C-alpha cells in the first residue's frame, strides 16, 4: 500500500481518545485492537496490542530483528523509486525496479510488517500477550466489534469463564451476545464521552 505516512499520521477519533483517557486515569488496563492502523497509539494509548499485527514495526523473516517502521521508511527512499509498498494496492511500477532494504543484521531481504492476513495466523506470542492483558482486568468492554474473528471472541470467552463481566457497546448482533453481562445499543462516541465524564 502506498501512503504509510497517511496511515501513520491518521487522526484518531473521539473513541480512540476516550479509551486513551480512561487508560491514563487508571481505569483501563489496556486495549486489544483488531485494526492495524495505529490509531490507538496515536491517541496516546499505552498498553495497546494490535491483535492482527501492526504497521508500526518491520521484522526480518529470517532472524527476527525488528525495527520501527518510521526508521525503515527513512531508509527506503534512498534504495529505490519513491514507492512504499506494503500491502494491497495496485502499483503502476515494475516491482523489479524496487530495491528492498535488507535486514541490517543478517542481510535477508524478506522483511515485512508483522500483520496477520487471511493466510497467516496470529502468532501465539501475540495471542498470549493479549490474553495476559485481558486477564489483568476485572472485566471487559467490547467497543463496536462483532467479534467475527475467533481470536478476539476467545478473549471474551476467557473473561466469561473467569466469571468477569463483559459489557459491549454496539448496535446490532455480535458473536458473544450470549456471554455479555450488559449490552448498550447506542452510538459509541456518545457513550464513550459519558464514560470519560464519569471517571
52 is catalytic: yes
Residue ranges at the known binding site for Zn(2+): 60, 63, 103, 106
Q: What letter does residue 23 receive in the DSSP assignment?
A: H
Phi, psi of 169 (to 5 degrees): -110, 105
- Least Å from the CB of residue 60 to Zn ion: 3
* Per CB under 5 A, 108 contacts Zn ion: yes
- Give the CA count within 13 Å in the CB-facing half-sphere of 35: 13
Pick from 103, 141, 169, 192 the residue near Zn ion by CB under 5 A: 103
91 binds Zn ion (CB under 5 A): no
According to CB under 5 A, which one of 65, 154, 160, 175 is a site residue for Zn ion? 65
Distances (CA, A) of 151 to 13, 122, 155, 179: 25, 8, 7, 16
In the block, which residue shows the cell 516491482? 95
CB of 64 to Zn ion, least distance (A): 7
Residues that bind Zn ion (CB under 5 A): 60, 62-63, 65, 103, 105-106, 108
Amino acid at each position: 500500500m502506498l501512503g504509510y505516512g497517511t496511515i501513520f499520521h491518521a487522526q484518531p477519533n473521539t473513541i480512540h481518545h476516550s479509551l486513551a483517557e480512561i487508560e491514563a486515569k487508571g481505569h483501563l488496563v489496556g486495549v486489544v485492537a483488531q485494526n492495524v492502523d495505529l490509531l490507538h497509539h496515536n491517541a496516546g494509548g499505552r498498553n495497546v496490542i494490535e491483535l492482527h499485527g501492526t504497521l508500526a514495526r518491520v521484522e526480518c523473516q529470517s532472524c527476527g530483528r525488528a525495527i520501527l517502521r518510521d526508521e525503515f521508511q527513512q531508509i527506503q527512499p534512498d534504495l529505490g523509486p519513491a514507492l512504499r509498498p506494503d500491502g494491497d494496492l495496485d502499483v503502476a511500477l515494475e516491482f523489479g525496479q524496487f530495491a528492498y532494504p535488507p535486514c541490517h543484521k543478517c542481510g535477508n531481504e524478506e522483511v515485512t510488517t508483522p500483520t496477520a492476513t487471511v493466510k497467516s495466523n496470529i502468532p501465539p506470542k501475540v495471542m498470549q500477550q493479549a490474553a495476559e492483558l485481558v486477564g489483568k482486568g476485572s472485566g471487559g468492554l467490547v467497543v463496536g466489534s462483532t467479534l467475527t474473528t475467533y481470536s478476539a471472541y476467545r478473549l471474551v470467552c476467557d473473561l466469561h469463564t473467569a466469571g468477569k463481566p463483559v459489557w459491549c457497546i454496539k448496535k446490532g448482533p455480535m458473536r458473544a451476545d450470549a456471554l455479555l453481562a450488559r449490552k448498550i445499543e447506542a452510538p459509541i462516541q456518545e457513550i464513550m464521552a459519558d464514560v470519560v465524564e464519569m471517571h
